[in-house]
């Protein structure tokens, strides 16, 4: 998912402490998917409570958010609304890939291929309605606000940064830049370590920020041209052109001015081009939101995580102490509203 523009974009590593007091509009889907895919046992099974419900996302949310808030960061989650019709092909492909991965997971398990099994287990992750519902309950109990996007969460998050209601969008994907987010932060993690795929190796990963204006100036293009490049490479709304990666796309778009000319020159076409461009330039968003960070409801968090999902009381209590110590839950924001 998302757009593969990583090589073109200028990224600046930062410390978590540099993001203190910043409001970060986090793409909920992206984050939950990451948690579900990565927080697993060595055989690939996600964390589960005694009733068999998956809890990886709750674990990820609790520990990461309490650490970020302790560092003074003010997260707000943005949930997806109704996906646009032009995304349906991508959505169908994801469903299919997931079903396929489930079968292969079982097969690999039976064949005793641990690494294969793990890989397919990850690929079978799904952010379903229950996952979303649990996550909203936990965020609410933790006092972290969330916003419901009318359509794409990345677009809503970008809008919130454009308006100045948030400082950054937070996502591993680059889409929010296309939607016009002035600033994006990736790798918004605590530990700073990430496992490299397939290898038994960990590398240091720091949060990194990207700035739209700076990126565009550096490449010598407009946002519309950045979108054109994405369209060449492929987005959630179109498959992309054969044998054209980010670098070639940049060259072509700069040379010919825009996607229309590139298509004409290369003998390609993108069905629904105008609608897709319009969607990136002017996505459905809402201004119907209020960002309030509240004191965590300790009892609700303990009830949800410990009583309902078998989390350790000791660990959850420790995380709650971090939350309560955070400035985000405290004075300024809260008092300004009450």
Partner DNA sequence: CATACACA
Partner DNA sequence: TGTGTATGG
39 forms part of the interface with DNA (CB under 7 A) = yes
Neighbour tally for 131: CB within 10 Å: 23
Q: Cβ of residue 268: shortest distance to DNA, in angstroms?
A: 37
| Binding-site member from 20, 45, 90, 327 for DNA (CB under 7 A) | 45
Q: Cβ of residue 42: shortest distance to DNA, in angstroms?
A: 6
| CA 313, 314, 319, 320 torsion-angle sign | positive
60 forms part of the interface with DNA (CB under 7 A) = yes
| Binding-site member from 21, 41, 217, 282 for DNA (CB under 7 A) | 41
Tell me if 308 is assigned to a ligand binding site.
no
Within residues 197-256, the interface with DNA by CB under 7 A covers: 200, 202, 205
* DSSP 8-state symbol, 6: G
How far, rounded to the nearest angstrom, does the alpha carbon of residue 205 sit from its chain's CA centroid?
16
| Binding-site member from 66, 109, 124, 225 for DNA (CB under 7 A) | 66
Using CB atoms within 10 A of its CB, is residue 115 exposed (0-12), middle (13-18) or buried (19+)?
exposed
193 forms part of the interface with DNA (CB under 7 A) = yes
Please enumerate in sequence order all residues whose Cβ is within 8 A of that of 170, keeping only pairs 6 or more positions apart, or say none: 24, 25, 26, 27, 31, 75, 157, 184, 185, 186, 188
Stretch that binds DNA, among 62-70, 92-100, 217-225, 251-259 (CB under 7 A): 62-70
| Binding-site member from 67, 156, 169, 235 for DNA (CB under 7 A) | 67
Structure tokens given for 290: 């209020």
Residue placing its CB nearer to DNA in the complex, 54 or 157: 54
Q: Cβ of residue 75: shortest distance to DNA, in angstroms?
A: 12
Q: Which residues of 301-312 are buried (b: 16+ CB within 10 A; e: fewer)?
A: bbebbbebbebe
Question: In this structure, what is the dihedral angle of CA atoms 210, 6, 157, 140, given to the nearest 10 degrees?
Answer: -100
Give dist(CA 160, CA 168) in Å, integer.
9
| Binding-site member from 74, 311, 320, 323 for DNA (CB under 7 A) | 311
29 forms part of the interface with DNA (CB under 7 A) = no
Structure tokens given for 65: 């958010």
309 forms part of the interface with DNA (CB under 7 A) = yes
Tell me if 236 is assigned to a ligand binding site.
yes
| CA 139, 145, 148, 154 torsion-angle sign | negative
46 forms part of the interface with DNA (CB under 7 A) = yes
315 forms part of the interface with DNA (CB under 7 A) = yes
302 forms part of the interface with DNA (CB under 7 A) = no
Q: Cβ of residue 123: shortest distance to DNA, in angstroms?
A: 16
Stretch that binds DNA, among 51-59, 138-146, 176-184, 276-284 (CB under 7 A): 51-59
279 forms part of the interface with DNA (CB under 7 A) = no
C-alpha dist (Å) from residue 321 to 7, 65, 139, 237, 270: 40, 12, 16, 43, 53
Q: Cα-atom radius of gyration of the chain, to the nearest Å?
A: 21
Tally: H helices and E strands in the chain: 15, 9
Q: Cβ of residue 65: shortest distance to DNA, in angstroms?
A: 9
Annotated binding-site residues for Mg(2+) read 27, 80, 152, 154, 173, 175, 236
**Interacting residue ranges for DNA, rule: CB under 7 A:** 34-35, 38-42, 45-49, 55, 58-60, 63-64, 66-67, 189-191, 193-195, 200, 202, 205, 309-312, 315-316, 318-319
């Amino acid at each position: 998912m998302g757009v593969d523009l990583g090589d073109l974009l200028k990224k600046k590593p930062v410390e978590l402490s540099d993001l203190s007091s910043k409001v970060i509009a986090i793409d909920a889907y992206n984050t939950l998917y990451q948690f579900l895919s990565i927080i697993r046992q060595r055989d690939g099974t996600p964390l589960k409570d005694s009733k068999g419900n998956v809890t990886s996302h709750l674990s990820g949310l609790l520990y990461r958010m309490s650490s970020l808030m302790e560092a003074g960061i003010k997260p707000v989650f943005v949930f997806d609304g109704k996906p646009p019709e032009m995304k349906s092909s991508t959505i169908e492909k994801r469903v299919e890939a997931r079903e396929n991965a489930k079968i292969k997971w079982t097969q690999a398990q039976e064949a005793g291929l641990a690494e294969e099994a793990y890989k397919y287990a990850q690929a079978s992750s799904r952010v379903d309605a229950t996952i979303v519902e649990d996550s909203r309950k936990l965020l609410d109990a933790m006092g972290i606000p969330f916003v419901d996007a009318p359509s794409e969460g990345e677009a809503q998050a970008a809008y919130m940064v454009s308006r100045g209601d948030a400082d950054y969008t937070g996502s591993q994907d680059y889409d929010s830049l296309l939607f016009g987010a002035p600033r994006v932060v990736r790798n918004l993690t605590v530990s700073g370590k990430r496992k490299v795929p397939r290898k038994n190796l960990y590398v240091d990963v720091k949060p990194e920020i990207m700035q739209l204006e700076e990126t565009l100036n550096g490449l010598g293009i407009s946002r519309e041209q950045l979108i054109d490049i994405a369209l060449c490479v492929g987005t959630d709304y179109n498959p992309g052109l054969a044998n054209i990666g980010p670098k070639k796309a940049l060259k072509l778009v700069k040379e010919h001015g825009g996607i229309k000319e590139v298509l004409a020159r290369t003998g390609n076409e993108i069905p629904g081009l105008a609608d897709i461009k319009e969607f990136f330039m002017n996505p459905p968003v809402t201004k119907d939101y209020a960002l309030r960070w509240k004191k965590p409801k300790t009892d609700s968090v303990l009830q949800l995580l410990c009583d309902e999902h078998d989390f350790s009381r000791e660990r959850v209590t420790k995380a709650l102490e971090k939350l309560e110590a955070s400035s985000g839950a405290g004075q300024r924001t809260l008092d300004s509203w009450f």
